[in-house]
Amino acid sequence: MSDVYVAGAGMTRFGRLDATLLGLLAEAGAGALRDAGSPEIQAIYVASMDPEELADEGSIASLFAAYIGRPRLPSLRIETGTSSGAAAFFAAWTAVASGYHDHVLVVAGEKMTSRPTPEVAAILSRMIDPYERSYGATMPALAALVARAYMEAHDLAPKDLAQVAVKNHANGARNPLAHFQRPITVEEALESRFVAEPLRLYDCCPISDGAAAAVLTRERHRVRVAGIGHGADHLALRHRDCLTGFRATQAAARRAYAMAGRSPRDIQVAELHDAFTPFEIISSEDVGFFEPGQGARALARGRTALGGDLPINPSGGLKARGHPVGASGLAQVVEIVWQLRGEAGGRQVDARVGLAQSIGGLASNNFVTVLEAVA
Amino acid sequence: MFESAIPAPQPAPHPVEQRGEGEPIPASRCACGYVAAPPTPFCPCCAGPMVPFQVAPFGAVLSYTILHSPPAGFTAPLSIALVELPGGVKFICHGHADDQRGLRVGRHVRIEHTDDIYYFASMSLGERARLLWSRRGETRQKLRAILRLSLRRRG
């Protein structure tokens, strides 16, 4: 297996945008190719969760290759729900690591704001087990069930969750590509309306448009993919043995650390899947940064803030950078690449080893990627 | 890797009806001991064949939510609860949406159903009717379910 490097990274602004899905993918892809020094790519891996319904586009991989004037480049689409961007990165990594390809372009995007929110909620809820969906379960509803179980088990108050939103909005305010670039207060978060009790509006990520891209290569570059893991769990919440942690993240993390020859203590910066505020706390435990039940305490002490010893979501996370569902998993990798190369501007942290963790569905199809700066 | 997901094997089906505890919930059981409610054709844990089984319709609330932004077709507020039935079987049902007095994790609840839509037995006739009306579905079917619900209550 060859070493695989990230040769280039690119990303559009995230938010409520005028651009089309193809336009967003093309902008991010062009940025990554330019950043990589325009290598001769041999394939395009495209991630998008539901371009058919959200953007009225089908055959998105071929369509994208044609759109950017590369109709003869083999392209394929990867989909694992809300972790699709990380899945496409993983699939491209296997193609390059195996030696099948030398250079692969990965693009990941979603166009979500053209549809009304209840319709988007219904589309996203198709990631849920059909029986649970028949009871009206949405992603926020299942996240709320997990949140309440976790809060009950570890004695958390709503303000403990709000701290995640406050931290990530503060980080987002330093990210010119973030959907939200305005700091918020705990009071604002706690006064926002309920979406699914105990989760309020500010506990949930926004519906966003946006795209991210990366070029993977076997040639030595400044950032190496040190470890990568893919973990899965029951689609149905009722079949899970644990409601206060995600087995799929834990399995993916074990695999990624083993491949990287690293432990959680080696990670100096992380992008975690905070689609809902409790998910950042739970994920910080699932990837082994903190003991079960200790994630909120570490957050409250400022350990995961930009100036802490283990900054989490310096980009603003899904919460403030935004969550174009298919794009987020790759946008996390892009942020870690920028952090490791010292190109993260006003949100730069000091790190040589970083981790990205992406959740697909309600944590049924997750990815963990460990990236290292190459000396 | 799934050992921890498998609850201890249950002996015989619970003789619930004799004890006057309500109609049992249809389930399925695998040779490995895993019980799924509602029934599944294959074991969600080991892919083994399932045989029909029943679970007593009561248990402790593991978690619950009141959904204020339901998906298209449903009306807010909508309550969804996860209840642990006897033998560790986790079950999704509806609970109190407006009147949440006493609703908390760990509370013991009994579960009833109308047309295979399961909800807390402690819900009033008004709450049940509102619930059936707030679910996604055809108006005629929903009205028929509500009619059946009120006739059964009176009878």
Distance between CA B132 and CA B135 in Å, rounded?
6
More confident residue, B22 or A69: A69
Residue A55 within any structural domain of the chain: yes
- Percent of the residues in chain A that have a pLDDT greater than 90, as a whole number: 98
Facing A196 at nearest CB: one of B65, B94, B106: B65
Facing A148 at nearest CB: one of B5, B36, B65: B65
- Judge whether residue A44 has pLDDT over 90: yes
Q: Report pTM.
A: 0.94
Judged by CB atoms closer than 8 Å, whether chains meet at A136 and B74 is answered as: yes
Q: Which residues of B touch A199 (CB under 8 A)?
A: 65
Q: Which residues of B touch A244 (CB under 8 A)?
A: none
- Judge whether residue A195 has pLDDT over 90: yes
Count CB-CB contacts under 10 A for residue A254: 15
Facing B62 at nearest CB: one of A149, A198, A234: A149
Q: Kindly list the domain boundaries of chain B, sorted by start residue.
A: 3-55, 58-154
A268-292: average pLDDT: 98
Residue A71 within any structural domain of the chain: yes
pLDDT at A214: 98
- ipTM, 2 dp: 0.93
Residue A14 within any structural domain of the chain: yes
φ and ψ of A187, to 5 deg: -60, -45
Judged by CB atoms closer than 8 Å, whether chains meet at B63 and A146 is answered as: yes
Residue A23 within any structural domain of the chain: yes
A342-363: average pLDDT: 98
Judged by CB atoms closer than 8 Å, whether chains meet at B44 and A198 is answered as: no
Judged by CB atoms closer than 8 Å, whether chains meet at B72 and A239 is answered as: no
CA distances from A334 to A45, A172, A213, A330, B145 (A): 15, 15, 7, 6, 52
> Angle at which helices A117-124 and A139-154 pack, to 10 degrees?
70
pLDDT at B20: 54
Is A130 touching B (CB cutoff 8 A)? no
Which residue in B has a C-alpha nearest to residue A137's C-alpha?
A: B80
Measured in angstroms, the CA of A127 and the nearest CA of chain B are apart by 13
Facing B91 at nearest CB: one of A136, A234, A238: A238
- Judge whether residue A164 has pLDDT over 90: yes
Q: Residue A74 belongs to a domain with what CATH number?
A: 3.40.47.10
Q: Which two tokens stand for residue A275?
A: 């689609």
The answer, yes or no, to whether the previous bond of B11 is cis (omega within 30 of 0) is: no
pLDDT at B153: 64
Q: List the single range of A71-80, A117-126, A201-210, A312-321 with lowest mean pLDDT.
A: A117-126
Q: Which two tokens stand for residue A238?
A: 């009722």
Q: Which residues of A touch B5 (CB under 8 A)?
A: 234, 239-241
pLDDT at A122: 86
Q: Which residues of A touch B94 (CB under 8 A)?
A: 135
Judged by CB atoms closer than 8 Å, whether chains meet at A198 and B105 is answered as: no
Distance between CA A141 and CA A125 in Å, rounded?
10
Supply the DSSP string of A218-274, one letter for each residue: SS--SEEEEEEEEEE--SSGGG-S-SSS-HHHHHHHHHHHHHHT--GGG--EEE---
Facing B67 at nearest CB: one of A122, A133, A138: A138
Judged by CB atoms closer than 8 Å, whether chains meet at A238 and B92 is answered as: yes
Distance between CA B63 and CA B65 in Å, rounded?
7
Q: Which residues of B touch A136 (CB under 8 A)?
A: 67, 70-71, 74, 78, 80, 135-136
Residue A303 within any structural domain of the chain: no
Facing B62 at nearest CB: one of A131, A239, A243: A243
Mark the ranges of chain B whose per-residue pLDDT is less than 70. 1-20, 99-100, 153-155
Is B31 touching A (CB cutoff 8 A)? no
Measured in angstroms, the CA of B72 and the nearest CA of chain A are apart by 5
Amino acid at A42: Q
pLDDT at B8: 45
Supply the DSSP string of A121-186, one letter for each residue: HHHHGGGS-HHHHHTT--HHHHHHHHHHHHHHHHT--HHHHHHHHHHHHHHHTT-TT-S--S---H
Judged by CB atoms closer than 8 Å, whether chains meet at A136 and B136 is answered as: yes
Q: Which two tokens stand for residue A280?
A: 């950042």
For residue A39, what are the domain limits? 5-115+208-217
Count CB-CB contacts under 10 A for residue B79: 26
- Percent of the residues in chain A that have a pLDDT greater than 70, as a whole number: 100
| Number of domains making up chain A | 1
Angle at B61 (CA atoms; ends B54, A155), nearest 5 degrees: 145
